[in-house]
Amino acid sequence: MELVVHKINGEVTDRKVQLEESIFGIEPNDHAIYLDAKHYMANQRQGTHDSKERSDIIGSTRKIKRQKGTGTARAGSIKNPLFRGGGRVFGPHPRSYDMKLNKKLKRLARKSALTYKAKEEGIIVVEDFKMEVPKTKEYASILSNLKLDGKRTLMVLNDSDSNIYLSARNLEQTKVVRADSLNTYEILKANTIVLVESSVKTIQDGFSK
């Protein structure tokens, strides 16, 4: 599969980039995609939620009323979960939601996600570019030149570039990642993936291992 390389002003160059079929043209595995997306979202959870059960509540332990003759249910403590301010039954406690997947499954999931994007014509290649200073307006104009206004985009760089990252940070529907940090969730979430020309080789080298 070949894609033409665009300039950041929207013009088309005479260069083309070859996307390997072994990465951008495989038979997608939906279950692998599901597992990797679930893995990503689970690992984003802090797991710091906590609640107090009746043993954690501070309060008197005396019996608050006599056992019989009141016409209501018996109650042995003010910490009873049925009372306001009482302990919670089976409440959440701090825990880790981390999931582990083997590397081959992750690689298969990401190849599958890239294949879907390639089939949907949701991948654009642009020439390498730099930004002298962080400027959101300049980054937004690049997206506008590529006719990506209003679309959720994922810009894939070959190396870290703080100026480009800071320029895109305030835009709601765009994200900037390095080629070696691509993940299934972000690939599927984006309407269009913008690959910087030098990042294509990094992706293909990384996924062909």
Q: Which of 35, 67, 96 is the last residue of a domain?
A: 96
The answer to whether 197 and 127 are in contact (CB under 8 A) is yes
Same domain for 17 and 62, yes or no, is no
Contacts of 116 (CB under 8 A, 6+ apart): 28, 188
Domain count, the chain: 2
If one counts every other C-beta atom within 10 angstroms of the C-beta of residue 149, the result is 11
Same domain for 88 and 105, yes or no, is no
- Collapse the DSSP code of 18 into the 3-class scheme (helix H, G, I; strand E, B; otherwise coil) and give the result: strand
- Structural domain containing residue 64: 49-96
Same domain for 9 and 85, yes or no, is no
Same domain for 77 and 29, yes or no, is no
- Pinpoint the alpha helices (H) of 5-145: 21-24, 30-44, 103-119, 136-145
Same domain for 151 and 192, yes or no, is yes
The tens digit of pLDDT for each residue in 105-130 reads: 999 999 999 999 999 989 999 998 88
Residues of the chain below pLDDT 70: 209
Determine the Cα–Cα distance for residues 115 and 131; give it in Å rounded to an integer. Answer: 30
Same domain for 197 and 119, yes or no, is yes
Same domain for 111 and 153, yes or no, is yes
Same domain for 73 and 122, yes or no, is no
Same domain for 134 and 200, yes or no, is yes
12, amino acid identity: V
Same domain for 76 and 164, yes or no, is no
The pLDDT score that the predictor gives to residue 163 is 92
The tens digit of pLDDT for each residue in 61-85 reads: 889 889 999 999 988 889 999 888 8
Same domain for 80 and 155, yes or no, is no
First vs last C-alpha separation in the chain: 20
Give the CATH number for residue 31.
3.40.1370.10
Q: What are 154's two structure tokens?
A: 């994922």
The answer to whether 122 and 190 are in contact (CB under 8 A) is yes
Element containing residue 192 per DSSP (H, E): strand 192-196
The pLDDT score that the predictor gives to residue 209 is 65
Same domain for 59 and 138, yes or no, is no
